[in-house]
Amino acid sequence: MNVRTRFAPSPTGRLHLGNIRAAVFNWLFARRHDGAFVVRLEDTDVDRNVEGAEAQLLEDLAWLGMDWDEGPDVEGPHGPYRQSERMKLYRAAGEKLWAAGQAYPCFCEEGEGEESDPADPGFRRYSGRCRALSPAEAHRRVDAGEPYVMRLAAPLQGTIEVMDEVRGAISVPAEDIDDFVLLRADGRPTYNFAVVVDDVDMKITHVVRGSGHLSNTPKQALLFDAFAVPRPVFAHHAQILSPEGGKLSKRSGARAVADYRAEGFLPEALLNYLSLLGWSDPEGREVLTRDELIAAVSIERLGASDALYDPEKLRWVGSQHMARLSLDEIVAGVRPFLRAAGPPVGEWSGEVLESAVEALRTRLSAFGDVVEHLHYFAPSDEARTVALAAVRQDGSARTVIGAVATAFAALPDREWTPAGLKAAIVQAGRDTGIRGKGLYTPVRLAVTGQEHGPDVARILHVIGREEALARLAEV
């Protein structure tokens, strides 16, 4: 089988984790089977479309490394790939179903001919009044210009069976589905009709999406049958919920893909994390490269249980991918964030910048995290006041600071390096007979205002001799 999957977002806003999650699996699955990944835009709801949203979502996909074989900006044999440009195709498809006896024009006004269900008063279904019209009568009224919608001639009895690769067999009584509208009076298609027409035309073989679409699936299955084409493989994976188990939203901590990009997350890390929401690696791995994900992905490993968005897990995955980068790669990644922070950190360069990055690299889940850790180099006045008070009250600590300051003052410029500074601190320890925490903690408190943190020798290298001696002199 020539695998073809699709991602069909609406350009009504920015891509969030909930909708990009489906794109991730469809892309991975297509690449796993050397198939095609198609991007098409469901943009028929003109009032809800947002200017610039199409460009942004395509940019987000590209940033994640998810290339597409066919789409609105890539020529393909099944275009156009914007639903707004496919209106003639939908109308022709409606006419085709009518000619085959699978659909019929309905001339009832909105609400007319509907029946309520005694068991569910809120549910109203079309009675099928216009289904009884003779073909000649229906054609006469259409030719006369009478307004109409096109409805599917749905089965009147029996059950509609759908096989889902994640959830198994799904059965729906035929009476639960009425003759739903395919084309509105103005010729625009309804959601389910447009989706199936597109899937048929674009030869989509696998429809992989969130469980929120399960309710649409029986109707879409009927439409595939009406067109007399094989149904695609359906697979409805887990929905992503908030950490508390509710609806995923910005309020619950989830943000748009563009936000994660702006914060400096690695695209490989976000792709990796999203793949773990509702899918599990057969070898139990949680940190996988893009190629490893492609090689491992399968529908059989998709889960039906909803997955919780865990921002801490995302940050952990981010840190694991960050650890795989070279120093030069991290330096290049954090540089824009340091420049945005302004002087003096924005002016760091060369060995000083490298020392700062080496000091912080194990604390980074995203490049933007570097800004949150700048307090190690420039502590607040309040933090230093408290720390200095603690050092001043400790005679041993004062002795250490004096010896270290003397060693630093005598250190040649060429040795003002992390290695040289560490050696100077060690020598001060020998001179005073003080070692371990008793040696390093006073220096750290005096320089950073904190008892714990990154390698203090690297921090000293970054802030420079003048600033380092000035801070020690305050003890």
Is 232:205 a contact under the CB 8 Å cutoff? Answer: yes
Distance CA 131, CA 117 (A): 20
Is 94:297 a contact under the CB 8 Å cutoff? Answer: no
Distances (CA, A) of 462 to 347, 355, 356, 363, 446: 11, 6, 6, 17, 15
In degrees to the nearest 10, what's the CA dihedral of 291, 292, 295, 296? -150
The dihedrals phi and psi of 241, each to the nearest 5 degrees, come to: -110, 165
Q: What is the DSSP string of 264-292?
A: T--HHHHHHHHHTSSB--TT--S---HHH
How is residue 299 written in tokens? 């529908």
Distances (CA, A) of 454 to 318, 357, 359, 444, 473: 19, 10, 5, 9, 22
Angle at the Cα of 247 from the Cα atoms of 246 and 248, rounded to 5 degrees? 115
Is the dihedral angle over the CA atoms 140, 144, 145, 147 positive or is it negative? negative
Concerning whether 250 is annotated as a catalytic residue, the answer is: yes
Catalytic site residue from 88, 96, 203, 250: 250
Residues labelled catalytic: 250
